[in-house]
Structure 1
């Protein structure tokens, strides 16, 4: 997250408040957590970005959509329109092979497996950090006499 935060954009609005903004790619990456409620948001964010920009695709946008899209119909369409990119990106996201083949049923299963894998990875990342924070809290309570 620190790396993503370094790439943020800060804007100041007329009322004097500063707002810290993440780009769509970084926001999607940051939302890949173990919380169930984040995954529908990822789908909506990528789908909305696709809906807004599908008439003006760029290689960068196509690659982003192929890497992050969670909607089978859109993935199948993108893979059909960009088979070289889809096959290349399948090395890092194997479910794209099902998209290239137009196999929506397999794609849905693989999207769910991908979600569960990402959630588990996030859990594994945070488990030792939570333990460390809990130990720090206990130490502070003990020092404070509480």
Structure 2
């Protein structure tokens, strides 16, 4: 992807590994800029990977703008069987130019530079109807809290108060930064339970928050799934 100058961001399970929340992943998930020029670069990279489109939809810019993921399977000997999924638009997540501006750039021990979704954006992208995503969100935010809580920035405190899903840590966070918590109650009412040290009520509110997000995701994907079904029948 870098060799062919594809503007893309690693997300999904492999990005979670970089952020300290181990997850087994069979594929490479990429957020991409859905422009004609960038898709030309992407096609070149996929050609080198000897990647074929699998399932539906076909590799078309309109499908990416609509919110569909396009799936590929690689046949290159050094990536044989690897699946690559690309998306451009996701529910509750900013547009790609915004994601690119606040990306995280890391270098692996062997010198490969990787551009990732920022952690807050990755957490938003993980708020789906899938069971496996919610424990991962919890681990991602926990790992970030443990790494930076000794001397955090205002932005990090805001992120924890917005996204922590571990009752005991959310209570700890609200206790340490009480005024910040009070200011954020309007956006996340369950913080009132954290301020009151009511762990039972907090657990119930966190569950309700998760269920609401799952419902929104199901509603978002319902028309897209109908479109995929129509594509399968047409094929």
TM over 0.5: yes
Partner-residue secondary structure (3-state), 2:210: helix
When the two structures are superposed, what TM-score results if normalisation uses the length of structure 1? 0.85
Is 2:207 aligned against 1:112? yes
> How many residues align structurally?
140
Task: Label 1:131 to 1:18 Cα distance change in 2 as closer, same or farther (>3 A).
Answer: farther
**C-alpha distance in 2 between matches for 1:71 and 1:37:** 16
Task: Label 1:56 to 1:38 Cα distance change in 2 as closer, same or farther (>3 A).
Answer: same
Hey, what does 1:134 align to over in structure 2? 229
Determine if contact 1:28/1:42 at 8 Å carries over to the other structure. yes
Task: Label 1:19 to 1:132 Cα distance change in 2 as closer, same or farther (>3 A).
Answer: same
Hey, what does 2:117 align to over in structure 1? 22
Superposed displacement of residue 136, structure 1: 2.7
More strand by share: 2
When the two structures are superposed, what TM-score results if normalisation uses the length of structure 2? 0.54
1:71-110 Cα distance to aligned partner (Å, 9 max, x none): 1111111111112221221111111110011111100111
1:9-46 Cα distance to aligned partner (Å, 9 max, x none): 46686979664411110010111110010000000000
Question: Following superposition, which runs of at least 4 residues in structure 1 exceed 2 angstroms of deviation?
Answer: 1-6, 8-20, 136-139
More helix by share: 1
Alignment of 1:1-146 (within 5 A): 1=90, 3=94, 5-6=96-97, 7-8=99-100, 9=103, 19-139=114-234, 141=235
Partner-residue secondary structure (3-state), 2:156: helix
Task: Label 1:69 to 1:17 Cα distance change in 2 as closer, same or farther (>3 A).
Answer: same
| Gap regions ≥5 residues in structure 2 | 1-89
